[in-house]
């Protein structure tokens, strides 16, 4: 697949690029095409020059892709969705975006008016399939190419085929397990796990924390 990483010059975007470049064409997007090209070269260096990664401006990256991952902080969700609407066609959009802030004592979830970042993306991009996933996956762990993450990815969405596609992308990353977490309207529950996870990690000195559901397997 052709996968655009909007704001893919950042932490989580770099992680997705190195994990998916062996099987897919990865298009790193940025506000500045030159910065995206530098990030693509850096990702290829991490991959030992094996993989298909290139960089361009966010709008061109979206236009060239079948799947778009929104790799920007929540504050910039509008600028990479509605402001770039002309670049979207019928792409599947994946949102790992977490609306949260640090209040000086702890990280807290900041409910958007629509309930979650994913529901806001849906209202900004009407008609497109939006799937919400990867919120509790640590970018540093993702970037460490050979590390087994041993974590679960909670996926919310309304279209079964789109959920299956994101579950497949999840399974391509070593030891990540995709778990269905409900319709897109349930995304706030998943997004709000991230500030909880960061509060626990910080207080208990847990590096690169993740979440997995335990059971008698
Ligand atoms: N980091 C994690 O461990 C992690 C884990 C799970 C989910 N997430 C979610 O993934 C998203 C990205 O996180 P991140 O840590 O990768 O973010 P980041 O590194 O802080 O930023 C990602 C990119 O956002 C772009 N950006 C910055 N200001 C912008 C603006 N004004 N307008 C448009 N784009 C702008 C920048 O790209 P250019 O300068 O190249 O345009 C930057 O490289 C967030 O929503 C976060 O909640 C992160």
Q: What is the pLDDT of residues 23-44, one digit of tens each?
A: 999 999 999 999 999 999 999 9
Q: What is the CATH number of domain 2-204?
A: 3.40.50.720
Residue 182 alpha carbon to ligand 1 centre in Å: 25
C-alpha–C-alpha distance, residues 195 and 133, integer Å: 15
Rounded to whole angstroms, the Cα distance separating 31 from 41 reads 17
- Ligand 1 center to residue 214 CA distance, Å? 30
User: With the C-alpha atoms ordered 213, 117, 87, 14, is the resulting torsion angle positive or negative?
Assistant: negative
For 32-53, the DSSP string reads SHHHHHHHHHHHHHHTTT-SEE
Domain boundaries, the chain: 2-204
Closest-lying ligand 1 atom to the alpha carbon of residue 29:
40
Residue in 10, 18, 42, 110 to alter for ligand 1 test, most ligand atoms within 8 A of Cβ: 10
Mean pLDDT of 135-154: 95
**Measured CA angle at 31 (ends 30, 34), to 5 deg:** 65
Q: Which atom in ligand 1 lies closest to the alpha carbon of residue 15?
A: 16
- Report the mean per-residue pLDDT for the chain: 97
| Choice from 58, 73, 147 to test ligand 1 binding pocket (greatest atom count within 8 A of CB) | 73
Of ligand 1's atoms, which has the minimum distance to the CA of residue 13?
16
Runs of H (alpha helix) within 47-180: 58-64, 117-124, 139-143, 160-171
Q: How far apart are CA 200 and CA 202, in angstroms?
A: 6
Which pLDDT score, from 0 to 100, does residue 129 have? 98
What is the 201 CA–ligand 1 centroid distance (Å)?
Answer: 20
- What percentage of residues in the chain have a pLDDT greater than 70? 100
Measuring from each residue's beta carbon to the nearest atom of ligand 1, which residues come in under 6 Å?
A: 7, 9-13, 30-31, 35, 71-74, 76, 79-80, 96-98, 134-135, 137-139
d(CA 117, CA 124): 10
88 φ, ψ (degrees, to nearest 5): -85, 150
Q: Evaluate if residue 216 carries a pLDDT over 90.
A: no
C-alpha 48, offset from chain centre: 24
Confidence of residue 49 (pLDDT cuts 50, 70, 90): confident
Atom of ligand 1 nearest to the CA of 35: 40
Single pTM value for the model = 0.98
Distance between Cα 123 and ligand 1 center (Å): 21
Report how far ligand 1's centroid is from the alpha carbon of 97 (Å). 9
What are the pLDDT digits (tens) for 162-178? 999 999 999 999 899 99
């Amino acid at each position: 697949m052709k996968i655009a990483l909007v704001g893919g010059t950042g932490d989580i975007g770099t992680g997705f690029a190195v994990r998916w470049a062996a099987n897919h064409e990865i298009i790193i997007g940025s506000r500045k095409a030159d910065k995206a090209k530098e990030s693509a070269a850096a990702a290829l260096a991490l991959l030992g020059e094996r993989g298909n990664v290139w960089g361009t401006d966010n709008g061109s990256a979206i236009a060239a892709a079948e799947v778009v991952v929104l790799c920007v902080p929540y504050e910039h969700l509008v600028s990479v969705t509605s402001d770039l609407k002309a670049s979207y066609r019928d792409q599947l959009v994946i949102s790992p975006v977490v609306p949260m802030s640090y209040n000086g004592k702890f990280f807290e979830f900041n409910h958007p008016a629509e309930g979650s970042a994913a529901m806001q993306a849906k209202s900004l991009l009407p008609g497109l399939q939006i799937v919400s996933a990867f919120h509790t996956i640590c970018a540093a762990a993702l970037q460490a190419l050979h590390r087994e993450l041993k974590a679960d990815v909670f996926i919310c969405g309304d279209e079964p085929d789109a959920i299956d596609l994101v579950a497949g992308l999840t399974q391509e990353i070593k030891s990540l397990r995709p778990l269905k977490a409900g319709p897109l309207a349930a995304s706030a529950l998943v997004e709000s796990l991230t500030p909880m996870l960061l509060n626990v990690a910080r207080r208990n000195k847990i590096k690169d924390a993740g979440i997995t559901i335990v059971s008698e397997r």
